Amino acid sequence: MNLGLNYLTNNYYMNQINQQKKAVEQDSSVGFNRILSAKSIGSAAKTEQSLKDMWQTRFPGGYYHVMDAYKIPQNVWERLDFPHEKFFSNEVDESVLNWQPAGAAPELSDSSVQSRLNSVLGKNSIVVPPALEEKLKNNPELADKIMTNIDNLFAWNGYPSLPDGMHSALIVLDENGEVAHYQLVGAGFMGPSDEELRRIEEEQKAKQEKREEYARLMEETAKEKKEKWQESNEKYYQSNLLEKVIRTYEVNFISQERVVCFAKTD
């Protein structure tokens, strides 16, 4: 079974969220923080939980790491050979933060990519920078806000509301609690199997051969039409030339007869 990655532009997604926040603040005298505060009154137990508790309640067995993974360049993060799977373990070697690609990026259908994607199914992980972890100690409302943003991200991507063994989520936060990077893997992003890929390749090859054959036939037809046109023109030219010769001959012959007639009359 082949599984794929889904990457949306983080800046575009977060701009949408920020616009929604501004609209709420402009249309209501109650700000976003006061909304969260009012929500926390109705669910005090929820806001008293840490972000780690919230994450592992949402995803039982989910991994929670504290490190500056948000500093990983986006173009590096998006590569299919980046070792995302290292974040799905109890301990993460910080050398992953300095990972650099070697050579061309592999294709999604590459067996090594597929193997690594399959290895993280059913697992979920969140990475929090140390500066944000410090902020969260004195701001339980911030944890609630972060989980709300993550829920919005999941909804944006069609990610299931409940965890299951066929999906995987990796979320990386920046120092302000915003989503810096993410990786979602699962059934919603399935690609063709190896057999299907071979079948598609064969179909594409057959279509290409048909296109080439059609182009060859069109070229031959055009060549035949050109030859027939040239032949027709040549025949027309020769026919006209012959007709002109005959007319010239007839005119000359008639003129000679008149001269002879005139001569006899004299």
**Residue-wise pLDDT tens digits, 33-90:** 444 444 444 444 444 789 999 999 999 999 999 999 999 999 999 999 999 999 999 9
Confidence class for position 131, pLDDT limits 50, 70, 90: very high
The single-letter code of the amino acid at 28 is S
Q: Provide the pLDDT for residue 195.
A: 66
Confidence class for position 165, pLDDT limits 50, 70, 90: confident
Q: Mind listing the pLDDT tens digit for each residue in 96-113?
A: 999 999 888 888 888 888
List Cα–Cα distances, 160 to 6, 104, 147, in angstroms.
Answer: 14, 33, 15
Instruction: Say if CB 190 and CB 4 are below 8 A apart.
Output: yes
3-state secondary structure of 70: helix
Of 3-17, 73-87, 138-152, 154-168, the range with the lowest mean pLDDT is 3-17
Question: CA 259 to CA 10: how far, in whole Å?
Answer: 104
Three-state secondary structure readout of 198-236? HHHHHHHHHHHHHHHHHHHHHHHHHHHHHHHHHHHHHHH
Res 152 pLDDT > 60? yes
Q: Provide the pLDDT for residue 44.
A: 45
**Over pLDDT 90: what percentage of the chain?**
33
Question: Whole-prediction pTM value?
Answer: 0.56
**Alpha helices per DSSP H over 30-92:** 32-42, 44-47, 51-58, 74-77
For strand 63-66 and strand 124-128, is the pairing parallel, antiparallel, or unpaired? parallel
Tokens representing 132 are 């944000």
Nearest partner of 90 among 133, 56, 125, judged by Cα: 125
Q: Provide the pLDDT for residue 262.
A: 54
Identify which has the larger pLDDT, 104 or 126: 126
Q: Provide the pLDDT for residue 145.
A: 95
Q: What are phi and psi of 31, to 5 degrees?
A: -75, 175
Q: Provide the pLDDT for residue 27.
A: 47
Determine the angle formed by the axes of helices 140-156 and 130-137, rounding to 10 degrees.
Answer: 120
Computed over every residue of the chain, the mean pLDDT equals: 77
**Domain map of the chain by residue range?**
3-191
Instruction: Say if CB 157 and CB 74 are below 8 A apart.
Output: no
Q: Provide the pLDDT for residue 34.
A: 45
Identify which has the larger pLDDT, 14 or 177: 177
Positive/negative CA dihedral, 94, 97, 98, 103? positive
